[in-house]
Amino acid sequence: MPSPVSGFSKKTKAEKIAWLASQYLEQDLHAIEILKSYWNQDPKLQQLHDDFIENTLTNFYLPLGIAPNFLINNKLYALPMVTEESSVVAAASNAAKFWLDRGGFQAQVISTVKNGQVHINYFGKTAELTAFFNQIKPILIESIADTQRNMQKRGGGLIDMILVDSTKDLEGYYQLHCTFETGDAMGANFINTCLESFANTLEKEATTYNAFEAANKFPEVVMSILSNYVPDCTVKASVTCKVSELAQKNISGEEFATKFVRAIQIAKTEPRRAVTHNKGAMNGIDAIVIATGNDFRAVEAGVHSYAARDGKYTSLTDACVEGDTFHFWIEIPLAVGTVGGLTRLHPMAKVAFKVLQQPDAQELMKIIAVSGLAQNFAAVRSLTTTGIQKGHMKMHLMNILNQLAASSEEKEKTISHFTNQAVTHSAVVTFVNLLRN
């Protein structure tokens, strides 16, 4: 049975692996060898990766692929995408090629405001807390003068703060709702530093406020933290073409448009479908967020909460036909950066930004939104025409062959065999076993 450990973070990497092997890996030499084989051969690069998180043992690789031919606002891009899922890069590439000859993608940033809150307990009179806030608001703003000086030079900083009475939802609960502009930075550290300054200043000023002293009721800060729900930091991406231009093999443009729009309507109506529908869009969004060293968990949380902003979880994308014109678009919140965090620290993220032609934060928002729209278009197109499994399983075939440790010759023969055959795991296993026997 494994034993607790103390001082684990102070051990060397080799000592951590040795402890893990003795406690959980049953001294599996092969497992230890795998962990060490993923170390970067350049000690400086490995040290850089070691410093990204705590208790690092090794690196965990994911493929970085390229989806070319993305025409966005009349500018051509190749999108770096990091993902483990078969067919994502291929689907994005196919969608990009499809729209390349139909005017490409259009994208625009709608707003870039981010937010955070100081959450407060106060069980006195609302009027007294309001008067206190109005009195100390200039002092709160002054408390972050040094913190936001450089941000203000770049056109960012605090926009405003208001006191929100949330006692109808939770007894004694108030918040300082603060809005920020952070330029090319995602801004999490900046926002959190400002919020903590507000919190400390508020509690300090409260100790000498007469109305609080008289009632012996003081506001207490529970926590100070930015929000990953950013409905005022949004971007829209869209495609448009004549319905006749949607004609596919064995399907007219009119039939394609009708089925496609109906599929979107279903995703707008049925949450069970909407979740999977939106996951398809996130395949494209996350892949670029990860490639550029941004926080994909924050993006995921914000996007999915936005999908439920009206009280029901629904599709992130919309489609319609107006006259003889087909429209398909996505509008999502995206808090991403091109400076700070790992965006300029991770060597692969730096390469990704170079591939993207060094976009600023707003340009990156547009690129990411387009990737989500393209991925969603590819998925819905497959679902309403050939079915999702045909293309997906073709791409998954190589994963199955690698699981079976197939040789190059076996891979070549199996891929050839399944060119016109349905790919299933059992069918591939059976065919490979026939080759081996």
Nearest to 238 by CA among 162, 132, 304, 316: 316
Could you name the CATH architecture of 64-111+232-386?
Alpha-Beta Complex (3.90)
Token pair of 89 as six digits: 């890069």
* Residue-level pLDDT at 389: 56
Distance of alpha carbon 206 from alpha carbon 122, whole angstroms: 11
* Residue-level pLDDT at 249: 83
Distance of alpha carbon 258 from alpha carbon 255, whole angstroms: 5
Sequence-distant (≥ 6) Cβ neighbours of residue 394 within 8 angstroms:
87, 418, 423
Residue 392 falls in the annotated catalytic set: yes
Judged against a pLDDT cut of 80, whether residue 240 lies above it is answered with yes
* Residue-level pLDDT at 325: 98
Sequence-distant (≥ 6) Cβ neighbours of residue 40 within 8 angstroms:
46, 49, 59
Please give the torsion angle defined by the CA atoms of residues 82, 87, 88 and 90, in that order, rounded to the nearest 10 degrees: 100
Over pLDDT 70: what percentage of the chain? Answer: 98
Measuring CA to CA, how many Å separate 16 from each of 31, 35, 48, 54, 57?
14, 11, 18, 12, 7
Domain ranges for the chain: 8-50, 64-111+232-386, 114-226, 392-436
* Residue-level pLDDT at 429: 85
Which one of the listed residues 11, 13, 49, 85 is annotated catalytic?
85
pLDDT in tens, 242-256: 999 999 888 999 999
Average pLDDT value for residue range 23-30: 93
Sequence-distant (≥ 6) Cβ neighbours of residue 121 within 8 angstroms:
172, 173, 174, 219, 220, 221, 222
- Asked whether 304 and 149 are in contact (CB, 8 A), the reply is no
Which one of the listed residues 50, 245, 295, 363 is annotated catalytic?
295
Residue 196 falls in the annotated catalytic set: no
Average pLDDT value for residue range 103-108: 98
* Residue-level pLDDT at 86: 84
Distance of alpha carbon 142 from alpha carbon 147, whole angstroms: 10
- Asked whether 109 and 365 are in contact (CB, 8 A), the reply is yes
* Residue-level pLDDT at 387: 62
pLDDT in tens, 269-307: 999 999 999 999 999 999 999 999 999 999 999 999 999
Residue 85 falls in the annotated catalytic set: yes
* Residue-level pLDDT at 419: 75
* Residue-level pLDDT at 395: 64
What's the pTM value of the predicted model, to 2 decimals? 0.90
Which one of the listed residues 11, 13, 97, 279 is annotated catalytic?
279
Residue 279 falls in the annotated catalytic set: yes
What is the fold, at CATH topology level, of the domain defined by 114-226? Alpha-Beta Plaits (3.30.70)
pLDDT in tens, 87-96: 999 999 999 9
Average pLDDT value for residue range 70-95: 96
* Residue-level pLDDT at 15: 94
Q: Using pLDDT thresholds of 50, 70 and 90, give the confidence band for residue 417.
A: confident
pLDDT in tens, 391-404: 556 667 777 888 88
Element (H, E) at 107: strand 106-109
Sheet architecture: strand order including 325-333: 106-109, 234-242, 325-333, 317-322
